[in-house]
């Protein structure tokens, strides 16, 4: 699921409010196994465990499966953040989650995130952070409708710079989940720029799809040209050409002889067939 984790960014604000802004009652979950397991990993283990329990039960109450899935992806990302996790610890979110499901069933009534919690690397967290930074910049840009034009253009310029950097860094080889989320953010920017003109920011952000289609189209064409050119050089100006040339002529001669044999066999068959037909209609007359 690692590459799929970035899809929560589209609904970041809603999930963030549900987790970060949960009311925490001190000591409410003091007897939970989460405390025992998490004290080695979490900076504020009591608060973190209570947030996780309440957040998971909140997801359980939602009927839409897609809402649950994206919410679990956000939780997966969030518990790896530096304000929650201690430094220099090896934390495995999947092991932690499985432990909670088995040992803390009094607090977690259902396996809400089955298949959508996993151990993720620091690189994945940092990529998600970058995507969230762009999300927040575009959010500020959209909310700045009543600001003066210069301020709005400054927001647009910052969005443009962040977007291009992410596109050129992570979307060179083709579309993936990360780049799909980038496209969604591009659409928000493009919509907001319809009635705004800025000297330092384009009306529309560069398209990821067009870039990829160009690469996809040109790459096979270039490979074919290189192969043809290489074979030509080998044939004409190389020892391989000297080696191949007489063999090619020999093969041509063999094929020509086969064609001649085939033609002769065909003629013999036609003649025999003709003689047989003539004999069928021949009548013998005996003299008296």
Residue 273: pLDDT band with limits 50, 70, 90: very low
Beta strands in the chain (DSSP E): none
Residue 263 has a pLDDT of: 53
Share of the chain above pLDDT 70, in %: 70
Residue 213 has a pLDDT of: 43
Whether 287 is covered by a domain: the verdict is no
- CB contact at 8 A, 120 and 5: yes
Whether 273 is covered by a domain: the verdict is no
Residue 132: closest CA among 182, 86, 180, 72: 182
Kindly state whether residues 145 and 202 are assigned to the same domain.
yes
- DSSP string covering 182-221, please? HHHHHHHHHHHGGG---SSS-SSPPPHHHHHHHHHHHHHH
Residue 281 has a pLDDT of: 44
**Domain interval for residue 84:** 2-120
Share of the chain above pLDDT 90, in %: 50
For residue 215, pLDDT beyond 50: no
Kindly state whether residues 217 and 109 are assigned to the same domain.
no
**Which tokens belong to 255?**
């094929």
Higher pLDDT, 157 or 1: 157
Kindly state whether residues 19 and 76 are assigned to the same domain.
yes
Residue 72: closest CA among 37, 47, 101, 43: 101
Kindly state whether residues 192 and 251 are assigned to the same domain.
no
Kindly state whether residues 201 and 214 are assigned to the same domain.
no
Expressed in angstroms, the distance from the first to the final Cα of the chain is 103
Whether 286 is covered by a domain: the verdict is no
Instruction: Give every CB contact of residue 135 below 8 A, 6+ residues apart in sequence.
Output: 9, 12, 185
For residue 242, pLDDT beyond 60: no
Q: Which of 60-64, 119-123, 272-276 has the highest mean pLDDT?
A: 119-123
For residue 185, pLDDT beyond 70: yes
Phi, psi (degrees; rounded to nearest 5) at 85: -90, 140
Kindly state whether residues 116 and 41 are assigned to the same domain.
yes
Distance CA 199, CA 35 (A): 54
Whether 19 is covered by a domain: the verdict is yes
Higher pLDDT, 236 or 161: 161
Average pLDDT over residues 204-215: 68
- pLDDT digit string, tens, across residues 159-172: 999 999 999 999 98
Whether 275 is covered by a domain: the verdict is no
Residue 155: pLDDT band with limits 50, 70, 90: very high
- 44 Ramachandran zone, left/alpha/beta (phi>0; psi -120 to 50): beta
Whether 272 is covered by a domain: the verdict is no
Kindly state whether residues 185 and 147 are assigned to the same domain.
yes
DSSP SS3 for 85: strand
Among 177, 206, 235, the domain-final residue is 206
**Which tokens belong to 84?**
């929650």
Kindly state whether residues 166 and 197 are assigned to the same domain.
yes
Kindly state whether residues 59 and 160 are assigned to the same domain.
no
Look at 65-69, 161-165, 222-226, 267-271 and tell me which has the smallest mean pLDDT. 267-271
Q: What is the chain's mean pLDDT, rounded? A: 81
Whether 278 is covered by a domain: the verdict is no
Among 70, 102, 120, the domain-final residue is 120
Kindly state whether residues 233 and 190 are assigned to the same domain.
no
Residue 185: closest CA among 201, 161, 205: 205
Task: Give whole-number Cα distances, 202 to 93, 149, 187, 191, in Å.
Answer: 41, 14, 13, 12
Q: What is the 3-state secondary structure (H, E, C) of 144-169?
A: CCCCCHHHHHHHHHHHHHHHHHHHHH
For residue 109, pLDDT beyond 80: no
Residue 284: pLDDT band with limits 50, 70, 90: very low
Among 92, 120, 148, the domain-final residue is 120
Task: Say how far residue 243 (Cα) sits from the centre of its chain.
Answer: 47
DSSP SS3 for 200: coil
- C-beta atoms surrounding 139 within 10 Å: 16
Residue 229 has a pLDDT of: 64
Kindly state whether residues 192 and 235 are assigned to the same domain.
no
DSSP SS3 for 196: coil
Whether 276 is covered by a domain: the verdict is no
Residue 92 has a pLDDT of: 96
Domain count, the chain: 3
Kindly state whether residues 97 and 40 are assigned to the same domain.
yes
């Amino acid at each position: 699921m690692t590459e799929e984790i970035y899809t929560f960014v589209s609904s970041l604000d809603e999930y963030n409010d549900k987790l970060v802004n949960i009311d925490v009652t001190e000591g409410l979950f003091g007897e939970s196994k989460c405390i025992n397991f998490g004290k080695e990993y979490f900076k504020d283990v009591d608060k973190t465990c209570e947030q996780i329990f309440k957040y998971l039960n909140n997801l359980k109450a939602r009927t839409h499966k897609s809402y649950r899935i994206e919410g679990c992806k956000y939780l997966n990302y969030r518990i790896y953040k530096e304000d929650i996790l201690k430094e220099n610890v090896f934390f495995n979110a999947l092991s932690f989650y499985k432990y909670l499901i088995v040992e803390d069933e009094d607090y977690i009534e259902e396996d809400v995130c089955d298949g959508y919690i996993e151990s993720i690397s620091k690189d994945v967290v940092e990529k998600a952070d970058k995507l969230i930074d762009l999300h927040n910049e575009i959010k500020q840009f959209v909310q700045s409708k009543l600001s003066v034009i210069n301020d709005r253009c400054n927001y647009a310029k910052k969005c443009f710079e962040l977007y291009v950097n992410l596109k050129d860094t992570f979307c060179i080889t083709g579309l993936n989940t990360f780049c799909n989320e980038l496209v969604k953010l591009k659409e928000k920017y493009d919509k907001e720029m319809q009635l705004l003109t800025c000297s330092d920011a384009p009306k529309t952000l560069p398209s990821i799809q067009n870039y990829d289609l160009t690469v996809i189209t040109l790459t096979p064409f270039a490979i074919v040209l290189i192969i043809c050119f290489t074979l030509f050089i080998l044939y004409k100006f190389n020892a391989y050409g000297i080696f191949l040339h007489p063999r090619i002529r020999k093969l041509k001669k063999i094929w020509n002889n086969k064609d001649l044999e085939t033609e002769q066999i065909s003629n013999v068959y036609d003649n025999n067939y003709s003689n047989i037909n003539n004999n069928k209609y021949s009548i013998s007359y005996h003299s008296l």
